[in-house]
Copies of this chain bind each other. A is one copy, B any other.
Amino acid sequence: MPRKDQVSIKTIAEKTGLSTATVSRVINKKGGFTRETYERVQKAVQELDYVPNAMARGLRTRSVPLVGIIVPDIINEFFSRIVLRVQLALAARGYSVFICNTDESAENEQTYLATLQGMQISGLVCISGSDMTDEAWPNVPTVYIDRNPIRPAPRSTIIESDNLSGGWMAATELLRRGCREIALLGDERSLSTALSRRNGFQHALNDAGLVPEESRIFSVAKVDEKNAYDAVSFALRSGVTFDGLFCMTDWLALGALKALENAHLRVPGQVRVVGFDDVRVASYSALPITTIRQDTDEMSRLAVEELTRMMEGEPCRRPHWIVPVSLIRRETT
């Protein structure tokens, strides 16, 4: 492989007859050079296609303008929306973003954490995922989104949707529409977000004098429409009855809707359904889904603001942020 030699700062120095120190100053615009020197260097840089070696620079300065972002599932629009926003905003401030898709696996997460630490990242955004595994956390400013670590990193802040109110709003909408036998479909893992949604949900039921039935709580091992379909179909076949269903994500609602249709149950006639997230598909499905909207823009904005703040050495303004959610009423209720 005749891979042409890396052109380094030294190459530029030789070509211009300057020292590497001066070239470095020019490249980093540190000042302290004549206009002529500047132009000579720029010219050489152009001609030789010189790109500074980030490794060497990072090694020397002991930090890289790079932030890691850990996300469970990039295909999930809720997550990718946040990733996109965060990435855009950070790019504008000169940071690259290293996206780490863990595929919901704690093991992958650990591997990534080590990789990120090895890369000397200057900040970390961690979306959802398990609330534990906070061992060997890189010692950098961290923002958790939708995740409540048992022992948060030293310089960190937590941002989450108002999941409690979200659950409450969902249940309330169902109650207002006259539902009395309300079921719940969620993740079988007990993530903090899911817990909050469920608490809010049960709270509303209790207020209405209803006792939640254990048999009306369905759960899936992996949160997708296929599993939702199976879980709801199974419940239906087992003779469980319900006239309202709160699904902890829109994709779960989609699967549930299909199961309901398959069982010839009319929505919203016989069963009413509420989802969560408000991903685009919620409004384009066969029956547009009533859902609880999470404000991903605001969450991302906050995340970037707090993170950059911390990366610049300031403390975070608050250790915990709750972002409001809203009910989007469509046709499943």
A-to-B contact residues, CB < 8 Å: 1, 3-4, 6, 49, 51-59, 62, 64, 73-75, 77, 80-81, 83-84, 87-88, 91, 96, 98-99, 101, 103, 108, 111-112, 114-115, 117-120, 136, 139, 225, 254, 258, 280-281, 284-287, 313
Contacts and interface: CB of A to CB of B under 8 A. Distances in A.
Contacts of A77: 75, 77
Contact of A284 (B56, B115, B285): B285
B54 A119 contact: yes
B53 A118 contact: yes
Contacts of A56: 55, 59
A255 to B, nearest CB: 9
Contacts of A99: 74, 98-99, 101
Contact of A96 (B115, B136, B284, B285): B115
A108 B90 CA distance: 13
A52 B118 contact: yes
Contact of A3 (B3, B139, B286): B139
B87 A81 contact: no
Contact of A285 (B53, B74, B286): B286
